[in-house]
Amino acid sequence: MLIVLLAGVLHLPAGTIGVFFSIASVGALIGALTARRVAARIGQGPAIWIPVAVTAPLQLVIPAAQPGWLLWAAAAASFVIYCCVSVNNITQVSFRQGITPEHLLGRMNATMRFLVWGTAPLGALIGGVLGQLLDARTALWIAAAAGLLPVLPLLFSPLRTMRTLPAQPEREPKPTSPSHAASSDAAG
């Protein structure tokens, strides 16, 4: 719906739309480059929930975009949103991978990708229907308002105070049996 708003409603030139999305993309890159340092400074738990809390109200700036300063305010909000999304994603994926036993990593990653990315087509469908029935700006307002909801469970989550998140305990390497070692020596 954002492309529909920028191109179809606001009639912005392609170059301006490209600059808008480039600003957001630079935010994602900076978030990716600083995620480890952010988590080290504020703690892993806060590095998961604070970016969500920061992005929630900023999403309300996007549907207000108009030619002029409001467009660039929306681009700046997108910059911060993309930066925060990168920090959140890197920190929480690292956490999940750290607590998941090695033999279950593939299943866990596949399940999470299905749950997270599998809902994207549903969101696109709902956004398209809302845009068709209402208009692009209203669909973005509804999405921004819905984006406030994930903050509530995080405010009551133990993540708020967890500087270091639990990790999978280190496992001792399996000792090789004397017969196994002898047979591999003979084979070598």
Q: Does residue 44 contact residue 91 with C-beta atoms inside 8 Å?
A: yes
- For residue 125, report the phi and psi dihedrals to the nearest 5 degrees: -65, -50
Global confidence as pTM: 0.83
Measured torsion, CA atoms of residues 113, 108, 78, 28, in degrees rounded to the nearest 10: -110
67-116 tens-digit pLDDT? 999 999 999 999 999 999 999 999 999 888 888 999 999 999 999 999 98
Residue 1 has what pLDDT? 95
Kindly tell me the number of DSSP H helices and DSSP E strands found in the chain: 9, 0
Bigger pLDDT: 84 or 169?
84
Closest CA to 20 of 2, 35, 36: 2
Bigger pLDDT: 181 or 21?
21
Question: How many whole angstroms separate alpha carbon 70 and alpha carbon 66?
Answer: 5
112-142 tens-digit pLDDT? 999 988 988 999 999 999 999 999 999 999 9
